[in-house]
């Protein structure tokens, strides 16, 4: 068992660790970009009836369709799309897009939809008097959002965002099906090479589980901290 | 984008709907059954059982379903004891493994929903049932279950959609449900956009139908 996980040529320890690093980088990038886009979508929702409809449709579609399908669409579809556009400009060389980039794009789109929903819920819990008071003080809308609404929004949205992080972490495993060498992919390769599938999937499961547990603790700790400063 | 392909692809993808819905129904049934048991163990007064149930729930909620599916479908054959057991003909079957994984997974989430519902019950109701001398069965049947169903329905509707989306993972172990068929169409005709968007349309139609169904159930229970 420990030989299987040793580093170097004999074991799979280095491959699995590299996969773990890729998983974490992917998850962190997509969480940051996804929640940022989600916040922008929430703001866009207020811009008018048409934009509200568009954002609503985007959120409904992305939340109703399996994550795997979205990842397949980006992974297999984007190349065709980009090459089609390039060909129409007369560029006919083969364009190869990085699998990591496409995976990050797909997961960002999914996370944006989920976090837009969380931010919308959080925004509705902030009393309208706050915005009215900001206007009465002569705050510009951008300043009112940045100084009055956003800090409260983040506090209220935090548990929801913690959930999104856990879902995203688990969703990164789907990317292994598109050959991005993250944790799950490396485990599959190791499982195939050693004929010990259960061992390696159990190891992968244990690693995901440990990250999930740590994340949950961290979210609770941050929540508690923010809640205290909120009462001051 | 070749629009006529949608008209061509969607009927072909509908052939995968029975497998998708079959997996969904089977997994939800297993999930409710096992979820109710887990929920009972979690509120039971036996520490070992309670901790066991808590471990089960956090294990299934804390790991990707794809890992669980691969561990069951590809992994269990590693053990000779499993290969020689009577369950092996079932465990080497892709449909059964997908059903089992989805069901075990859903059980963890369902038990959390039910536990949340139990916590939402008013204590006075249980005390009143006791005061009236209701037996345990009568208390469960006439006091707990009706209210628990009503409280849990909104969260459970969400769970149904999550399991539906989870069925797409079955395509990774060779089942030709909607996503599996879409992947096949995509690589056969080199039309990923049309194939996967058509599949998305089919999934959304199922999601809308299920949402309407659950809203109808919710309204029925309110009366």
Q: How does pLDDT run across B33-87, given as a tens digit for each residue?
A: 999 999 999 988 899 999 999 999 999 999 999 999 999 999 998 998 889 988 8
Tell me if A35 is assigned to some domain: yes
Helix (H, G, I), strand (E, B) or coil at A41: helix
Instruction: Tell me the mean pLDDT in the region A84-97.
Output: 78
Residue range A73-79: mean pLDDT, rounded: 88
Q: pLDDT-based confidence at A232, cuts 50/70/90? A: very low
Taking the C-alpha atoms of residue B197 and residue B2, their distance in angstroms, rounded to an integer, is 12
Residue A2 lies in a domain: no
CA distance A218 to chain B (A): 15
- More reliable by pLDDT, B101 or A178: B101
Name every chain B residue with its beta carbon within 8 A of the beta carbon of A76: 186-187, 192, 196
The answer, yes or no, to whether residue A4 has pLDDT greater than 80, is: no
CA dist B135 → B10, B114, B121, B129 (Å): 54, 21, 18, 8
ipTM of this predicted structure? 0.91
List the domain range (segments joined by +) for residue A56: 13-231
Whole-model pTM? 0.91
pLDDT bracket for residue A1 (50, 70, 90): low
A→B contacts (Cβ < 8 Å), by residue, are 60-61, 63-69, 72-73, 76-77, 80-81, 166, 170-174, 176-177, 184, 187-188, 191, 195-199, 201-202, 204-205, 208-209, 212-213
Mean of the pLDDT values across residues A106-120?
96
Give residue B76's pLDDT: 93
Q: Is the CB of residue B17 less than 8 Å away from at least one CB of chain A?
A: no
A81 contacts in chain B (CB < 8 Å)? 193
Q: How confident is the model at residue A229 (pLDDT cuts 50, 70, 90)?
A: low
Poorest-pLDDT segment among A39-48, B162-171, B204-213: A39-48
- Give me the pLDDT at residue A89, please: 84
Residue B132 sits at φ, ψ, to 5 deg, of -80, 0
Cα(B37)–Cα(B52) distance, integer angstroms = 12
Q: How confident is the model over A34-60, as pLDDT tens digits?
A: 999 999 999 999 889 999 999 999 999
Measure the CA–CA gap between B36 and B149, rounded to whole angstroms. Answer: 12
For B20, the closest chain A residue by CA position comes to A66
* Residue A127 phi, psi (nearest 5): -60, 140
B positions 72-101 inside 8 Å of A (CB):
74-79
Give the pLDDT score at A177: 92
At residue A7 the predicted structure's pLDDT band, cuts being 50, 70 and 90, is confident
Write the DSSP symbol of residue A77.
I
The count of domains in chain A is 1
Q: Could you tell me if residue A185 is inside a domain?
A: yes
Q: Is residue A6 part of a domain?
A: no
The alpha carbon of B43 is separated from its chain's Cα centroid by a whole number of angstroms, namely: 22
Interface test with A, best of B16, B63, B191, B197 (most A CBs within 10 A): B63
With CB atoms and an 8 Å threshold, state whether A196 touches B172.
no
Question: What CATH code is carried by the domain that includes residue A177?
Answer: 1.10.3720.10
B29-172: CATH class: mainly alpha
Q: Crossing angle, helix A150-171 and helix A13-45, to 10 degrees? A: 140
Q: In chain B, where does the domain assigned CATH 1.10.3720.10 lie?
A: 29-172
Under 8 Å between Cβ of B143 and B73: no
- pLDDT tens digits for range A184-213: 999 999 999 999 999 999 999 999 999 999
Nearest CA in chain A to B210: A64
Per-residue pLDDT of A147-173, as tens digits, reads 988 988 998 999 999 999 999 999 999
State what percent of residues in chain A have pLDDT above 70. Answer: 97
pLDDT > 90? residue A109: yes
Q: What's the CA gap between A96 and A82, in Å, rounded?
A: 10
CB contact (8 A) between residue B192 and residue A80: yes
Residue A228 has pLDDT above 60, yes or no: no
Alpha carbon separation from A161 to A151, A157, B88 (Å, rounded): 14, 6, 41
Which chain A residues touch B161 with a CB distance below 8 Å?
A: 63-64
Q: A135 CA to chain B: closest CA distance, Å?
A: 37
Tell me the three state secondary structure of residue A232.
coil
């Amino acid at each position: 068992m420990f030989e299987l996980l040793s580093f170097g040529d004999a074991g799979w320890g280095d491959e699995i660790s590299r996969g773990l690093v890729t998983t974490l980088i992917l998850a962190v990038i997509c969480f940051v970009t996804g929640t940022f886009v989600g916040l922008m979508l929430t703001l866009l929702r207020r811009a008018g009836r048409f934009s509200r409809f568009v954002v609503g449709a985007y959120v409904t579609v992305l939340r109703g369709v399996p994550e795997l399908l979205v990842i397949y669409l980006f992974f297999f579809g984007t190349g065709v799309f980009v090459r089609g556009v390039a060909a129409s400009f007369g560029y006919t060389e083969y364009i190869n897009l990085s699998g990591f980039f496409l995976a990050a794009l797909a997961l960002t789109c999914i996370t944006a939809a989920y976090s837009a929903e969380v931010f919308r819920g959080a925004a509705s819990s902030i009393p309208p008097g706050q915005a009215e008071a900001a206007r009465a003080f002569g705050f510009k809308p951008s300043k009112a959002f940045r100084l009055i609404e956003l800090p409260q929004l983040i506090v209220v949205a935090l548990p929801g965002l913690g959930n999104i992080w856990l879902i995203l972490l688990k969703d990164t495993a789907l990317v292994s099906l598109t050959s991005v060498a993250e944790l799950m992919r490396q485990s599959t390769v190791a499982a195939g090479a050693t004929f010990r599938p259960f061992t390696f999937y159990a190891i992968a499961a244990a690693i995901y589980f440990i990250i999930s547990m740590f994340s949950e603790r961290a979210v609770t700790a941050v929540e508690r901290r923010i809640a205290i400063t909120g009462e001051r | 984008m070749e629009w006529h392909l949608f008209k061509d692809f969607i009927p072909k993808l509908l052939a995968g709907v029975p497998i998708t819905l079959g997996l969904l129904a089977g997994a939800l049934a297993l999930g409710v059954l096992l979820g109710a048991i887990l929920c009972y163990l979690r509120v039971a007064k036996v520490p070992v059982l309670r901790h066991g149930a808590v471990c089960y729930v956090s294990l299934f909620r804390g790991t990707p379903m794809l890992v669980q599916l691969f561990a069951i479908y590809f992994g269990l054959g590693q053990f000779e004891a499993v290969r020689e057991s009577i369950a092996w003909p079932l465990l080497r079957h892709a449909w059964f493994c997908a059903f089992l994984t989805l069901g075990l997974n859903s059980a963890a989430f369902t038990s959390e929903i039910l536990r949340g519902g139990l916590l939402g019950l008013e204590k006075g109701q249980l005390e009143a049932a006791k005061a009236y001398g209701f037996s345990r069965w009568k208390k469960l049947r006439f006091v707990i279950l009706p209210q628990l169903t009503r409280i849990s329905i909104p969260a459970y509707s969400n769970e149904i959609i999550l399991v539906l989306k989870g069925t797409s993972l079955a395509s990774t172990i060779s089942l030709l449900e909607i996503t599996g068929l879409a992947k096949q169409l995509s690589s056969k005709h080199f039309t990923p956009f049309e194939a996967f968007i058509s599949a998305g349309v089919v999934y959304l139609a199922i999601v809308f139908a299920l949402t309407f169904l659950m809203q109808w159930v919710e309204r029925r229970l309110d009366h």
